Amino acid sequence: MTPLVSIIMGSTSDMPVMEDAAKFLNEMQIPFEINALSAHRTPELVSDFAKNAAERGIKVIIAAAGGAAHLPGVIAAQTQLPVIGVPIRTQMGMEAWDAMLSIIQMPPGIPVATVGVNAAKNAAILACQIMALGNDDIRSKVVKFKSTLAAKITKANEDLAKIKYEYKTN
Ligand code: RP5
CA proximity to 35, closest of 52, 27, 154 = 52
Give 1's pLDDT tier (boundaries 50, 70, 90). very high
Res 12 pLDDT > 90: yes
* Domains, the chain, with CATH or none: 5-135 (3.40.50.1970)
pTM of the full predicted structure?
A: 0.94
Yes or no: say if 34 and 18 are a contact pair by the CB < 8 Å rule: yes
Ligand 1 within 6 A of CB of 90: yes
In the three-class reduction of DSSP (H, G, I as helix; E, B as strand; rest coil), residue 33 is classed as strand
CA proximity to 88, closest of 76, 78, 97, 80 = 97
At 56-105, the pLDDT tens digits run 999 999 999 999 999 999 999 999 999 999 999 999 989 999 999 999 99
To the nearest 10°, the Cα dihedral for 120, 124, 125, 127? 130
Within 8 A by CB and 6+ apart from 164, the residues are none
Which residue among 8, 9, 11 is best mutated to probe the pocket of ligand 1, counting the most ligand atoms within 8 A of its Cβ?
Answer: 11
Ligand 1 within 6 A of CB of 14: yes
Yes or no: say if 119 and 97 are a contact pair by the CB < 8 Å rule: no
Closest C-alpha to ligand 1, atom 7:
66
Res 128 pLDDT > 90: yes
Atom of ligand 1 nearest to the CA of 88: 6
Residue 93: per-residue pLDDT: 84
Ligand 1 within 6 A of CB of 98: no
